[in-house]
Structure 1
Amino acid sequence: MHHYKMLINGIQVAGANGQFDVINPATGAAFAQCSAGSLAQLDDAVAAAQVAFKAWRHVSHAQRCERLLAIAESIEQGADELARLIVQEQGKPLELAFSEVMGAAAWTRYAAGQQIEVGLVEETPTQRIELHRKPLGVVASITPWNWPFMIAVWHIMPALRAGNCVVSKPSSLTPLSTLRLVEIIARHVPNGVINCVTGEQGFGSAITSHPGIQKIVFTGSTATGQSVMRGAATNLKRLTLELGGNDAAIVLPGTSLEEVAEEIFQAAFLNMGQTCAALKRLYIHESQYEAFADALTLIAQRQVVGDGLEPGVNFGPVQNLEQLQLVEALVADARDQGARVLCGGARLDRPGFFYPPTLIADVTDGQRLVDEEQFGPVLPLIAYSDVEDVLRRANAGDMGLGGSVWGPDVQQAQALASRLESGVAWVNCHARIQPNTPFGGSKMSGFGVEFGLEGLLEFTGQQLQFVNKRAGE
């Protein structure tokens, strides 16, 4: 069984607290071990990043661009091995894992090409006012288990591009691909610019309150995000929080079932539903409710569930037992309240954490499956009759990550989408993101944005420079 070490100041380091098992969700058994670091080793990582920052902050934009392009090349060269590692620790099918790696390389290339210009605020004969952007210092990246490689790239690459140094803390459920990513990055940057610490407990609170860290970028649950925010108050750390989502989708009357059913299914069950911005609640007009239910059921029944490394499999397991048990509890609660299980609805009788794509009809707001984020392979179908009422229901929750409206009249759908209380509103699509488009939530789904120029600037502080011109200049 392979043992994976942390990386601190360019050196692979064994954990002072021993090691912990990494479970393959397709078998439920350990396939590797990872270092369990100590708080003293976290201090070492932060200290290394602080020292490296003194020089890295002054590296030119052109040189940082070159480094990131070299990193992207190395990611692509190792794509097959990285994808297989992701499948083993996370569970997703190999094709999806490969797409995650190649997407991460593309995101890295985009970050490499981004520019931070000096803004000219005012120019007069007597003074010039400029707005400069400067790196913050040490950035801590705390990543979840659903897209372990891609989200680490989303956090780390713009931080490095802006001139910061990074301490990465991946989920203890999926630390291995992030460790491999950090090893790749470390080959192209000076020691201490990138570091990675791993462990099962204790690191989160220590990172949030650490005085040597200037910013935290966190992707995960709302409850944990609130804890991060409380800890960050100790030295007023900058924060980017991408938290939970319970995205609603509204299907307007007259929507072509043939055109949208497959895309709706994929938006809901992407990564087995384990995506923050996945479609989590589907509101269908009563005139098409049964037709959509039948069409989605047929698509669900075509999915091939199994180990992501097996040929032909396109639907993997839930990543961990705790999440699987939550999915089971939500489906059981819906069934107890009279819901109709159209397909799936029970854990598969085999090793691992397998739960088939499940569609639940005859549910409504106020039930757990609708009101709570299931973050798994279950989609509730909710009937509605009035557009204004369904908009109110879609906005009623305390989360506001994303939402979508589907309909034959694009202008009508866009007008309704603009009234969704969400950070992103999609029209006739869902869960689409691009490196050049800022992405972030509202309400209890977090604050700050990732991607695009706005996302890059989140890793900088501003300095306004007033230049008083000398007479005759």
Structure 2
Amino acid sequence: MATYKFMIDGKLIDSEKSFEVRNPATGEVIGSVAVSSPADVENAVQSAKKAQRSWAAKSDEERKKTLMDVAQVLNDNAPYLAEWITKEQGKPLAGPGSLFEMQACVGWTQVPASLDLPVEVVFEDDTRRDELHRKPLGVVGAITPWNWPLMIAIWQISPSLRAGNTVVLKPSEYTTIGTLEMIRLMNTVLPAGVLNVVTGDGSIGALLIENKDVNKIMFTGSTKTGRKIIDASKGNMARLTLECGGNDPAIVLPGTDAAKIAGDLFWGAFINMGQTCACAKRLYVHENDYEAVIGALDAVSAQMPMGNGMDDGIVLGPIQNKMQFDIVKSLVDDAKANGARIVRGGEPLGGEGYFYPITLVADIDNGTRLVDEEQFGPVLPIIKYKTIEEAIEKANDSDSGLGASVWGTDLNEAARVAKQIVSGTVWINQHGAIHPMVPFGGAKDSGYGVEFGVEGLKAVTQPQIISIKK
């Protein structure tokens, strides 16, 4: 069994300590990972700090070309890396799975490489000219989750490098090997020290966050961990971009054709087995359409084969780890104990792997755990409402505010409802439709700061005013 090494200053580094990585579909050990030490974290940050000077000194065109070379490496190695995603994370190769994730890695590298941040003249008169320049921040510490391990890493890496920063990344211990292999391959075209990776549990991430020479922290994960990062970064005053998950509501407006929207609603809720921050996690349906929408979703769910993502024809995989599997089971069990109706699923499938079926839960409301807590799994509570005002109130009744969606044929009415929902993004007749040119970020406890597009690129820079007396 191979042991996968982490990379500092362009060199692969081994360690006396290691941990095993298992396939969540089979339980088999698929490799081991060398564990970084506190000294390794310090070395990685210092390597990034040293490399940042020369990387930032390169022209925009040089950095853009290098990122395009990185995108080509990712494209050339997409099948290889996609297999690692499936074996480690569980999502199938096909459909909106691992090959899809790799396509996103390519696109989210190419787009920042195409963007410019020109000098802005913010004020000028006869006496003075004031220019706003965008400068790199320095060293970016990136902390990535296990649900979209390579794609979210790219979201943090690519804009940071484009802007002239360097990066030290700490991947989730659940999905480390694919990330290590991706960073190893990216380093074949990047200068040494520009992109480094350290490995281990949360204590290694904490050392990275607290390091005095880290200037920016990018994190995707739980609100609980996000709060710890805020506290831990007070010593170095690092700038923060925090995407802390969500409990996204979806509202189906009265009279909407259930059959027409069922397919898109299904994937809005269950892409990556619901293990996506911006999945639809609470569905609000008018009382007159309630059973029709439930029936349409049930019919779509029945057509979706679940199993080992390496097998042909599979579109749904396992939950990634036992911790999350137990959370999902606990929330469904609580709903059943409190009188909810299980339309589909509701019990673990058993056997090898963390398989939990697509589960539709009806006759449930706000105030129950399954509605109020982010399930982050293949379960959708469906809540009945009488008036649009009630639906909006219940949709906003959450500490989270990442995404939301409104579904209906009257786009003006859908927009009117959307504007009343407190979240970073509200989609209309779609859910989770992120785009590399469109800013994405949360409200309330879903974090702060934005990623993607020009605004995301600005977020990894320091504005500097050059004020000139004429």
Q: Which TM-score applies when normalising by structure 2?
A: 0.98
Find out whether 1:45 has 2:44 as its counterpart. yes
Distance 1:90 1:158 in 2: 24
Residue 343 of structure 1: aligned partner: 344
Give unpaired runs (5+ residues) of structure 1: none
Q: Superposed, which structure 2 residues align to 1:324-473 within 5 Å?
A: 324-469=325-470
Paired residue type of 2:6: M
Residue 72 of structure 2: aligned partner: 73
Contact 1:341 1:361 (C-alpha < 8 Å) held by counterparts: yes
Q: Superposed, which structure 2 residues align to 1:125-144 within 5 Å?
A: 125-144=126-145
Distance 2:159 2:436 in 1: 11
Residue 310 of structure 1: aligned partner: 311
Residue 111 of structure 2: aligned partner: 110
Q: Give the superposition deviation at 1:59.
A: 0.7
Distance 2:123 2:223 in 1: 41
Distance 2:364 2:149 in 1: 33
Distance 1:228 1:450 in 2: 18
SS of match in other structure, 2:467: strand
Distance 2:256 2:243 in 1: 31
Residue 63 of structure 2: aligned partner: 64
Contact 1:6 1:15 (C-alpha < 8 Å) held by counterparts: no
Residue 93 of structure 2: aligned partner: 94
Contact 2:91 2:317 (C-alpha < 8 Å) held by counterparts: yes
Deviates more, 1:252-261 or 1:59-68: 252-261
Residue 169 of structure 2: aligned partner: 168
Residue 243 of structure 1: aligned partner: 244
Contact 2:319 2:325 (C-alpha < 8 Å) held by counterparts: yes
Find out whether 1:227 has 2:235 as its counterpart. no
Deviates more, 1:250-259 or 1:153-162: 250-259
Q: Give the superposition deviation at 1:127.
A: 2.0
Distance 1:103 1:400 in 2: 24
Query: Deviation digits for residues 244-274 of structure 1, max 9, x if unmatched?
Result: 2000001111101121011001100000000
Distance 2:390 2:84 in 1: 46
Deviates more, 1:27-36 or 1:164-173: 27-36
Residue 54 of structure 2: aligned partner: 55
Residue 10 of structure 1: aligned partner: 10
Q: Superposed, which structure 2 residues align to 1:128-207 within 5 Å?
A: 128-207=129-208
Contact 2:279 2:431 (C-alpha < 8 Å) held by counterparts: yes
Give unpaired runs (5+ residues) of structure 2: none
Contact 1:92 1:308 (C-alpha < 8 Å) held by counterparts: yes
SS of match in other structure, 1:94: coil
Distance 1:390 1:123 in 2: 49
Contact 1:284 1:382 (C-alpha < 8 Å) held by counterparts: yes
SS of match in other structure, 1:202: helix
Deviates more, 1:294-303 or 1:242-251: 294-303
Paired residue type of 1:12: L
Q: Give the superposition deviation at 1:428.
A: 1.1
Paired residue type of 2:398: G
Contact 2:253 2:286 (C-alpha < 8 Å) held by counterparts: yes
Contact 2:111 2:453 (C-alpha < 8 Å) held by counterparts: no
Contact 1:128 1:468 (C-alpha < 8 Å) held by counterparts: yes
Query: Deviation digits for residues 48-95 of structure 1, max 9, x if unmatched?
Result: 001101111111000001000001011111111110010000000001
Residue 36 of structure 1: aligned partner: 35
Q: Figure out how many residues of one structure are paired with residues of the other and give that number.
A: 468
Distance 2:103 2:157 in 1: 16
Distance 2:67 2:326 in 1: 40
Q: Which TM-score applies when normalising by structure 1?
A: 0.98
Query: Deviation digits for residues 361-390 of structure 1, max 9, x if unmatched?
Result: 111110000000000000001111111111
Distance 1:461 1:110 in 2: 20
Q: Superposed, which structure 2 residues align to 1:248-267 within 5 Å?
A: 248-267=249-268
Distance 1:274 1:387 in 2: 28
Distance 1:207 1:84 in 2: 29
Contact 2:180 2:197 (C-alpha < 8 Å) held by counterparts: yes
Paired residue type of 1:334: A
Paired residue type of 2:275: Q
Paired residue type of 1:54: R
Distance 1:400 1:349 in 2: 34
Q: Give the superposition deviation at 1:181.
A: 1.8
Distance 1:334 1:169 in 2: 36
Contact 2:259 2:293 (C-alpha < 8 Å) held by counterparts: no
Contact 2:402 2:446 (C-alpha < 8 Å) held by counterparts: yes
Please tell me the root mean square deviation across aligned C-alpha atoms, in Å. 0.9
Residue 216 of structure 2: aligned partner: 215
Distance 1:114 1:389 in 2: 42
Deviates more, 1:174-183 or 1:151-160: 174-183
Contact 1:247 1:279 (C-alpha < 8 Å) held by counterparts: yes
Residue 22 of structure 1: aligned partner: 21
Distance 2:163 2:3 in 1: 33
Deviates more, 1:123-132 or 1:96-105: 123-132
Paired residue type of 1:357: I
Q: Give the superposition deviation at 1:105.
A: 0.3
Q: Give the superposition deviation at 1:200.
A: 2.3
Distance 2:201 2:469 in 1: 54
SS of match in other structure, 2:255: coil
Distance 2:71 2:123 in 1: 38
Q: Give the superposition deviation at 1:180.
A: 1.6
Identity %: 46
Paired residue type of 1:6: F
Q: Give the superposition deviation at 1:394.
A: 0.6
Paired residue type of 2:49: Q
SS of match in other structure, 2:434: coil
Distance 1:340 1:258 in 2: 21
Distance 1:338 1:167 in 2: 48
